[in-house]
Amino acid sequence: MESYEINRAEKIIEIIFQLIQKAARVRSMTHPIMETLGGIAIAVIVFYGGSQVVQGATTPGTFASFITALLMAYPAGKNLANLNANLQEGLAAAHRIFTLIDLEPKIKDKKNAVFLEDVQGQVYLDHVSFSYEKNKLAIKDININISAGSKIALVGSSGAGKSTILNLIPRFYDCNEGRVLIDGVDIRDVTLASLRKNISLVTQDITLFDDTVRANIAYGKPQAKEEEILEAAQAAFADNFIKTLTSGYNTHVGGRGLKLSGGERQRIAIARAMLKNAPILLLDEATSALDTETENQVQSALDMLTKNRTTIIIAHRLSTVMGADRIFVLSDGRVVETGTHTELLAKKGAYARLYAVQFANQNKTG
């Protein structure tokens, strides 16, 4: 695809070049135009002023003073013409900048929002519906009641609405209909800072910052002590690979963790969640980038992490959700089945079909 991308880049570069060339032409034209207009204006004034002097309407001294003042003002006039081109460029840049600065976030604290504290972890999605686009619901009339300290799993095919549900809990989006409650409080009535302070999130698309490994682990708890950071890394089975890095915990990971593998980034994200120790834990394919051996190790760490805290898990690999207290099976934005792993298999419905297909494929692969 090199030739395709080269052609695409050349088109964009050509458009930018044409715009710059147009600006240069406009800027260059101001000088000869001003010189021409200035020459014409001076010629007219000399002709008119001379005739006035000949007719005795004014004195030669007055006329000479006027010409001198005009010639002194002429350079300033030329500079003013050049200033217009710079001003137009500046106004265009200012428009782009202030458009961004003035952009209002869609999700923000309402007036008189309260601080969410002493969270036990009970989460209730009360008749929740949400759409990314008009007239196309991503989830429809979702009712999920999650007891404090329990572990639930959301499973289903891609596009069923699992990640959408997860994104509504920390208010990355607001639902179109219904309510999301934490400990009986509508999350739209509490401050975003206090809401997200009580939530840890580990997704398959890991966000690491261009900083040290230590800073990325402690990102959710900047005041963490060194011992706490080390314990979290060891619990997430990240300590061993971190020690092999050039500067250990002081190694810069690069933009978005570019210097680390997918599995290493995921383990650092899990260590970050462990260190934050929030009462609500959201796991979206948290072990998707790990090999089987490492996944088993991290799964043990996650089992420890999920104890006595509300945990919502999204996983395509059903082997990782078998131990959940309840499993919700989604299809086309709706909950079609709910129960434990054993109960859902006994129903021989959507979950049983997913399980049969997945493990049949694993057996073939094995």
Q: Where are the domains of the chain?
A: 2-101, 123-365
Nearest-angstrom CA–CA distance, 128 and 274? 29
SS3 state of residue 334: strand
What is the reported pLDDT for 265?
87
What is the reported pLDDT for 159?
84
Rg (CA), the chain: 34
What is the reported pLDDT for 361?
57
For 191-212, letters b (16+ CB in 10 Å) and e give bbebbbbbbbbbbbebebeeeb
What is the reported pLDDT for 226?
92
How does pLDDT run across 4-23, given as a tens digit for each residue? 999 999 999 999 999 888 87
Below-50 pLDDT ranges, the chain: none
The CATH number of the structural domain formed by 123-365 is: 3.40.50.300
Beta strands 280-284 and 177-182 are unpaired
What is the reported pLDDT for 364?
52
Alpha-carbon dihedral sign for residues 296, 239, 273, 161: negative
Q: What is the pTM for the complete model shown?
A: 0.75
What is the reported pLDDT for 362?
54
Burial zone of 218 (CB within 10 Å; 0-12 exposed, 13-18 middle, 19+ buried)? buried
Q: What are phi and psi of 253, to 5 degrees?
A: -90, -10
What is the reported pLDDT for 98?
93
What is the reported pLDDT for 177?
92
Q: Which amino acid is at 183?
A: D
- Strand ranges inside 119-274, DSSP E: 123-133, 136-146, 151-156, 177-182, 185-186, 199-202
CA distances to 15, 19, 167, 273, 303 from 297, rounded to whole Å, are 53, 57, 27, 16, 10
